[in-house]
Chains A and B, each alone.
Chain A
Amino acid sequence: MATRDRRLLAGGLLLGVVVLLALAAPLVTSISPETTRDVVATRFLQPWSTDLHGVFHLLGTDRLGRDVWARLLYGARLSLGVGALAVLISSLLGVGIGALAGASRGAVRTTLLGFTDFALALPRVVLLLLLAALWQPSAVLVVIVLGITGWMSVARLVFGEARNIVARPFVDSARALGSSRLRILLAHILPNVLTPALVAASLGFGNAIMLEAGLSFLGVGVQPPASSWGTMIASGRDTLVNAPWVALAPGVALVLVVVASTLLGDALQDAWDPRRG
């Protein structure tokens, strides 16, 4: 019990701080992430240094003399935003398909489950690469692509729960009282499958952020000048030797967020299903 609470607390706190920092970016740093002045004099400054304009750079500067800390904060808006929206889409799809499969029977259920298993067996990155490279790459496209490739795990969890609920007596009573199938689905099944959906969503959030960064890293995601953590890692790739902090900072941020969402997901899962963990 104690461990569970600690994980929930640590994960929630970490995510909360990152989200807050991203939202309050203009308050936390006075530097704009796109500011470039004298490129030659201000580029590749080490962390914790002050440039010749008297501007302090907490995490140093990149090859164009842009402040890494400011870019990290503003990049967080894009990375977290894309992750959150993508998870929203995949959760809606997953809850819809999972609940429908759980509530129906026969051919409808078999088809939905078969489709889910089929989608689950595809290497997600291959699909992502295809989709992302085929249309003009943009942040919106990444949201959609991540959304429509991430619903399967939600659907499976929701389906498992929905199937159990349908077998419960209160659903029978609702049916006996003349509730329509749609009403049973909306009023009885949906509210009860929200917990597993939340578990899957919080695990999926970390995954989505990681994949967004991956797509942007390969150049098929968010396009410059807009920058997410993935484009930052990609731009730091060429300067690993003389300016490792450019790739290090967004990577560490990414790992922290993914760890936080994993802890949160694990803790929620144990709280929902105490047999595990």
Chain B
Amino acid sequence: MVALTFLLLHVAPGDPVRRLLGPDAAPGLIAAQRQALGLDRPLPVQFAAWGAAFVRGDWGRSIATGEPVRTMIGRAWPRTVELAGLSLLLSYLIGIGVGAVQAARSRSALDTGLSVTTVTLFAMPSYWLGLMLVMVFAYGLRWLPAFGASGLDADFLPPGARLLDALRHLALPLVTLTLIGIAGTARFVRAAMLDVRGEPFITVAAAKGIPGHRVLLHHVLRNALVPVVTLLGLSLPALFSGAVFVEAIFAWPGVGRVLVEAVQSRDYPVVMAATAVSAILVVAGNFLAEWLAAATDPRLRQRAAP
């Protein structure tokens, strides 16, 4: 992923030095600046140098602002984890609930209504849903702030008020990302539960006289959770993609926004680091999901153990 990014960045037209110095810069000046930034060396050498420096923790400086990239990313990544992690948690908790209710009452008016809602929400682009929420809650009702992660006066507030301020800023981005997440999860849970309900052991459980709601909770839902937890890992790239848009809309100071801004200004070191960090976040999430899957399904644990 990182090597791919590196290659793409360098074959693409558009020169950061030219952008930095302006179109009228003298050729000699451009060459000198290129040399200073190490952009005149062969690509594999540049990449090896970058990789070694990245591992050492030296991520270079932003070409656009001169700030160390590590500081920028170090500031940004907890924000993304906060937003995406909370959203993931809420999406799954509420989504599993909604999906389970739908499966329990399948083909009822409630199920149809919820299906229409989830399909519609799932079809909404995150940036558009975000804008609509801003329109209603920030501009219309004036309940919540439209952008940023904290108010201008946040540093001067007492701790309680500062927490409230942070939560108010978190509300809209979180709701945007979570509504779409709930829709996706609920659709999947409903399908998974209906799949399990057709299995013979459910008929056996019902035939043994176990009450319906017990069968649903202990037999159907528990078994349906295995594919749902597997989905968790697969849905991480999509979650991160959603977060990129949401961060851009709400000016949420996370990795996504850093990436969008760096791409727009061709800030190589920042793009490289932001891409690498997002890949690391996704891979780490995948490991977490696999571990969770093993925790829910003993069969997977046994397969991994010997």
Contacts and interface: CB of A to CB of B under 8 A. Distances in A.
B123 A262 contact: yes
A130 B245 contact: no
Contacts of B125: 210, 213-214, 217, 251, 254
Contact of A240 (B5, B8, B107, B131): B131
Nearest to A277: B191
Interface residues of B, number: 46
Interface string A200-220: 000000100010011001111
A263 B115 CA distance: 11
A130 B263 contact: yes
Nearest to A124: B241
Nearest to B194: A277
A120 B238 CA distance: 10
A276 B191 contact: yes
B144 interface: no
Contacts of A160: none
B46 interface: no
B128 A254 contact: yes
A129 B13 contact: no
B135 A244 contact: yes
Contacts of A240: 131, 134-135, 139
Contacts of A241: 135, 139
A169 interface: no
A118 B194 CA distance: 31
Contacts of A165: none
B278 interface: yes
Interface stretch (B58-66, B279-287, B292-300): B279-287
A136 interface: yes
A247 interface: yes
A122 B120 contact: no
A42 B283 CA distance: 52
B288 to A, nearest CB: 14
Contacts of A263: 119
Contact of A218 (B12, B120, B191, B260): B260
A173 interface: no
Interface string A117-156: 0101111111001110111100000000000000000000
A220 B119 contact: no
Contact of A130 (B131, B238, B240, B275): B275
A275 interface: yes
Contacts of A3: 107
Contacts of B1: 118, 122
A129 B244 contact: yes
Contacts of A136: 13
Interface string A89-126: 00000000000000000000000000000101111111
B189 interface: no
Contacts of B278: 123, 126
A3 B119 CA distance: 15
- Most chain B CB inside 10 Å of its own CB: which residue of A236, A259, A275: A259
Nearest to A210: B125
Given A240-B134, A247-B131, A121 B286 contact: yes
Contacts of B273: none
A17 interface: no
A255 interface: yes
Given A121-B286, A124-B237, A219-B264, A130 B124 contact: no
A237 B131 contact: yes
A126 B12 contact: no
A123 B244 CA distance: 10
Contacts of B132: 247-248, 251
| 7 closest residue pairs by CB, A with B | A134-B12, A125-B241, A258-B123, A133-B263, A251-B128, A123-B240, A123-B237
9 contacts: A120-B234, A126-B259, A130-B8, A136-B13, A218-B248, A233-B127, A240-B131, A254-B125, A262-B122
Given A122-B282, A206-B123, 15 more contacts: A120-B234, A120-B237, A121-B237, A124-B238, A124-B241, A125-B240, A125-B244, A126-B275, A129-B263, A130-B9, A133-B264, A134-B12, A217-B125, A241-B139, A244-B135
